[in-house]
C-alpha cells in the first residue's frame, strides 16, 4: 500500500510540473472542476491577476490560468515572442482536450483569444474580451502598417538602455492610468518592473504588429467585450470598439463605468456578474 501511495504521489508531481510549464512560452496553473475556462492576462501581467475571479469560479469551473514567458518572474524566451506564445496556448488547448473552453483574455490576452478563435483545430465555447482590441497598433498609429514596426527602432533602443530609476518612474506613470485604485496601481507597477526588459520591449512590438481585424470575420462563437470607460469616456470607448470589431458578426459590448484598464481589479463584483 505504501508503495502504491508513493507511485501516486510521483504521478501527481509529474502532472503538476507538466500543467504548470507547457514548454517555455507559457506556464499554466489549474484548479477547480467543471467546464474549462482559460484565463490569459495582459502584457507584463502574471496569472495571479485572475486570483479573485478564479476563487469565485473554481467551485464550478476548471480554471486554467496562464502566465507568459518573461513576465511574473518566468524565464524569457527568444523572439519573435508572441507567435511562440500563441502557438503554445493553442497546443496546450489541444493537449488538454479543452473542448468548448471559455477563454477570458485581458488586453493582449484578449487579442490572443481572437487569434485562437480562428484556429480551425480548436473547438472553443465563447470569448470574454476584457478591455482588448484586435489591433492595438492601429489605435496608436494613424497610418498603421505592421510591416513598418521593427525591433530595431530608436524607441526600442531607448527603452532597452533606460536606467532602472527612469524605467520605474515610467512604470509608475503608466500604472496610474490603468486602475482607479492606488493599491492596484502599485501592483501593476511592480508587475511592469518585474518583467524581463527585452520581453517588455520586443514583446510589445510583437503586440502592436498583431492585427486580427480581418480574422474576426471567421469567428462564429459568442463574444462578450467588456471595455473600461476611463480615461476616454463611454462615447469614445464605444466608438473605438465598434470600429475595431466591425468585422465581428455578433457580440455583446458592455462598458464598465468608473473603471480603468484593469476592470477585474477595479470592479470585481460587477465583473463577475458580467461573465457568469
Q: What is the DSSP string of 119-151?
A: -TT--EEEEEEES--S-HHHHH-TT--GGG--S
Whether the predicted pLDDT of 4 surpasses 50: no
Give the CA count within 13 Å in the CB-facing half-sphere of 62: 14
Contact status, residue 100 vs residue 125, Cβ threshold 8 Å:
yes
Residue 257, domain CATH: 3.40.50.1820
Residue 217's domain comprises 2-275
Q: 4 CB contacts (<8 Å, ≥6 apart)? A: none
pLDDT tens for 205-250 read 999 999 999 999 999 999 999 999 999 999 999 999 999 999 999 9
Cis omega (within 30 of 0) for bond into 111? no
pLDDT confidence tier of residue 6, bands split at 50, 70 and 90: very low
Per residue in 128-183, pLDDT (tens digit) is 999 999 999 999 998 999 999 999 999 999 999 999 999 999 999 999 999 999 99
State whether the Cα torsion 26-259-269-101 is positive or negative: negative
- State how many domains the chain has: 1
**Which pTM was predicted?**
0.91
Which helix (H) or strand (E) covers residue 66, if one does?
Answer: strand 61-68
Task: Compute the distance between CA of residue 198 and CA of residue 78 in angstroms, rounded to an integer.
Answer: 9
Amino acid at each position: 500500500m505504501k508503495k502504491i501511495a508513493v507511485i501516486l504521489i510521483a504521478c501527481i508531481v509529474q502532472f503538476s510540473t507538466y500543467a504548470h510549464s507547457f514548454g517555455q512560452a507559457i506556464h499554466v496553473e489549474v484548479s477547480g472542476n467543471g467546464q474549462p475556462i482559460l484565463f490569459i492576462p495582459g502584457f507584463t501581467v502574471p496569472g495571479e491577476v485572475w486570483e479573485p475571479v478564479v476563487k469565485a469560479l473554481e467551485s464550478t469551473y476548471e480554471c486554467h490560468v496562464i502566465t507568459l514567458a518573461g513576465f511574473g518572474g518566468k524565464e524569457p524566451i527568444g523572439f519573435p515572442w508572441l507567435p511562440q506564445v500563441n502557438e503554445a496556448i493553442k497546443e496546450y488547448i489541444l493537449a488538454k482536450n479543452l473542448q468548448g473552453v471559455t477563454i477570458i483574455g485581458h488586453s493582449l490576452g484578449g487579442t490572443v483569444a481572437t487569434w485562437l478563435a480562428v484556429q480551425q483545430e480548436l473547438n472553443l465555447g465563447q470569448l470574454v474580451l476584457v478591455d482588448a482590441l484586435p489591433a492595438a497598433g492601429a489605435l496608436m498609429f494613424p497610418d498603421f502598417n505592421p510591416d513598418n514596426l521593427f525591433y530595431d527602432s530608436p524607441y526600442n533602443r531607448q527603452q532597452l538602455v533606460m536606467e532602472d530609476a527612469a524605467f520605474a518612474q515610467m512604470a509608475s506613470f503608466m500604472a496610474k492610468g490603468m486602475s482607479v485604485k492606488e493599491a492596484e496601481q502599485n501592483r501593476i507597477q511592480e508587475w511592469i518592473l518585474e518583467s524581463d526588459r527585452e520581453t517588455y520591449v520586443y514583446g510589445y512590438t510583437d503586440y502592436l504588429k498583431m492585427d486580427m481585424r480581418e480574422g474576426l470575420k471567421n469567428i462564429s462563437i459568442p463574444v462578450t467585450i467588456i471595455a473600461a470607460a476611463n480615461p476616454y469616456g463611454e462615447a469614445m470607448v464605444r466608438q473605438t470598439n465598434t470600429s475595431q470589431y466591425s468585422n465581428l458578426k455578433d457580440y455583446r459590448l458592455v462598458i464598465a463605468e468608473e473603471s480603468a484598464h484593469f476592470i477585474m481589479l477595479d470592479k470585481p463584483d460587477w465583473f463577475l456578474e458580467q461573465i457568469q
